[in-house]
Amino acid sequence: MDKLKMHSRDNVSQNIEAVGRLFPHALTEVLRDGKLVQAIDFDVLRQELAREIVEGREERYAFTWPDKRQAILAANAPIAATLRPVVEDSVGRDGTEGAFDSENLYIEGDNLDVLKLLQETYLGKVKMIYIDPPYNTGNDAFVYDDDFAMENGEFHAANGWRDEDGAMQYDLRANNVSNGRFHTDWLNMIYPRLRVAKSLLADDGVIFISIDDSEQENLKKVCNEIFGEQNFIGQFIWQRRTSPDMRRLVSTAHDYILAYAKYIENLTAAINKVRLTEKDAKNYANPDNDPRGPWASTDFTAQGYRPNQMYEITTPGGTVYEPPEGRCWKNIESEFLKQCSEGRIWFGKDGKGIPRRKTYLYERDGKNVWTWWSNAEVEHSQEATQEVKKIFDGNTFFDYPKPMRLIKKIIQIGSHDDSIILDFFSGSATTAHAVMQLNAEDGGARKFIMVQLPETTDEGGTAYKAGYRNICEIGKERIRRAGAKIAAEVGEKAAGIDLGFRCLRLDTSNMTDVYYAPDAVTQDGLFAQVDNVKADRTPEDLLFQTMLDLGILLSAPITVEEIAGKRVFNVAVGFLLACFDRDVTDETVTAIAKRKPYYAVFRDASMADDSALTNFDQLFAAYSPATVRRVL
């Protein structure tokens, strides 16, 4: 049996493998710490790219900042961490607290580490990402304090400390304008997170990022580099204020939302049209009682010169028209005559006007989204604050929450009704609320993944006094209350809506050091390392690290069964069968093998004796040779 790697995706190895597929002769092996490892021979690669490569100090267009190279390394470096289930904080699909059957996820922890752990499982599966990162206004407290010092070959993000209950806590670090690394620190924070997030996007996926003037210019340059300038969709401007701000030289009324596609060629699949409003519908009338219903006339000319579209048109009233200068008719003559016979061409009330095509209201599935979003259609910050107050009985715990209508609009244009939607700066959990609300309105089955660092609340603040010790506690409670509110509003329809979430928490690996570096354990340390699993970890903890390692969705259905007297986890209806009990006998192994799972996973110390360990592979070879067997 092979061992599970039990660490996040190694992007450097993936990149070396990708280069090797293009240039296999550039692959080589080098000796590192006494071991042969695969590497790229850059001299060979340089020869292959000699015509384009930029040498030395040659001037070139570039966007850079101090520590950029380390930020790239931070995005690629693997981590030995895991996500542990927190069942007591979870909510079932029907709103039952402490249940664990929801397909939505709420993950507590530093988002860079969490994104890395999600890579194996959600690679290319997320349809839409929305984030509202710190704007770097000079007043922000940066909790995403990435440590670029190498330790055991890894980067560590937002190093925190554990409180007396063992929960991770994180210190805030202010990023003041007087800081000589003001923009650098912000770029070092956002760059690796966007690099990793891109890998999670589906091929027709899109990302929307809220920002203000402080870092809008830099964010666009970062996104052009990571997603490609050709994949820029648009920069939306939304009116977040309706009253003047007298504290500033000018009263800034708007913020920005940058939108990028993973691949611009899939743009039509990535950006949906917006629904027509009642005001839009009023532009359609039916003056001639057309049986097809209300319509509006549109131009029947097109720009350019096409010989077969340059004919004369005689109207029913006898007027003769030729295409205007520099233009031609929209269609060839035979197609024009066909549309005339169908009553789809309009010549004005008197039948003498220039031909125009009828566009029917029933044919319109929406309209292209504009880049200007007024507060009338997406609300403003003050209304968003009122939304939070209604949820929390008159209390507001966030300074600048995003409005529900704003996030719903983004979800509508950027996803399908069964999409996975990720927000890794979850904050007040508006995105989760918007997903559930939209599902209730249109019958969709969208799923959310929220990621939030458990920033501690100010002891003198209203949130702390209300009993919330960190932002995650507030976000989870908002989802609970929002789900209950939606259930009460829709009644019986709530049975078809997922109004819950599985709570997971970032933590160090379940495995002891001996698992990752058995050669580094001294003889004296062997007695302390009899088991390669940490003493405080549960079978459920091991299950979720296994799911991460094998690329199984964290929202997959999980049941617990007893097979031959042992506790076995059944994941995704028999796709994975995992047993982490001790003293596993041939009887248990045989019963699991006969179920023919795709994966079967056991602990290294599971087998009852040497005989059971010896018979393990033989039993699977006899009953289910195709099953992939792994140990941890």
Q: Which residues contact 488 (CB under 8 A, 6 or more apart)?
A: none
pLDDT(144) > 60: no
State the pLDDT confidence band at 142, using cuts at 50, 70 and 90: low
Q: Which residues contact 395 (CB under 8 A, 6 or more apart)?
A: 388, 389, 462, 463, 466
| Cβ 542 vs Cβ 632: under 8 Å | yes
pLDDT tens-place string over residues 402-448? 889 999 999 999 999 999 999 999 999 999 999 999 999 999 999 99
> Which conformational region is residue 208 in: left (phi greater than 0), alpha (psi within -120 to 50 degrees), or beta?
beta
| Distance, CA of 500 to CA of 105 (rounded, Å) | 9
| Distance, CA of 307 to CA of 593 (rounded, Å) | 72
pLDDT tens-place string over residues 573-587? 999 999 999 889 899
| Distance, CA of 234 to CA of 208 (rounded, Å) | 10
Q: Which tokens hold the place of 281?
A: 């519908």
> Which conformational region is residue 497 in: left (phi greater than 0), alpha (psi within -120 to 50 degrees), or beta?
beta
The pLDDT assigned to 523 comes to 45
- Mean pLDDT (the chain) is 86
pLDDT tens-place string over residues 503-556? 999 999 998 876 655 555 554 444 444 578 999 999 999 999 999 999 999 999
- For residue 319, the tally of other CB atoms under 10 A from its CB is 16
Half-sphere exposure of residue 14: CA atoms within 13 angstroms, side-chain side:
13
| Distance, CA of 446 to CA of 412 (rounded, Å) | 11
State the pLDDT confidence band at 270, using cuts at 50, 70 and 90: low
Q: Which tokens hold the place of 440?
A: 């209730």
pLDDT tens-place string over residues 290-318? 999 999 999 999 999 999 999 999 999 99
State the pLDDT confidence band at 168, using cuts at 50, 70 and 90: low
| Cβ 211 vs Cβ 133: under 8 Å | yes
The pLDDT assigned to 529 comes to 42
pLDDT tens-place string over residues 346-363? 999 999 999 999 999 988
pLDDT tens-place string over residues 459-518? 989 999 999 999 999 999 999 999 999 999 999 999 999 999 999 999 999 988 766 555
**Which of 1-5, 48-52, 240-244, 551-555 is least confident?**
48-52
What distance lies between CA 632 and its chain's CA centroid?
Answer: 29
| Distance, CA of 584 to CA of 542 (rounded, Å) | 17
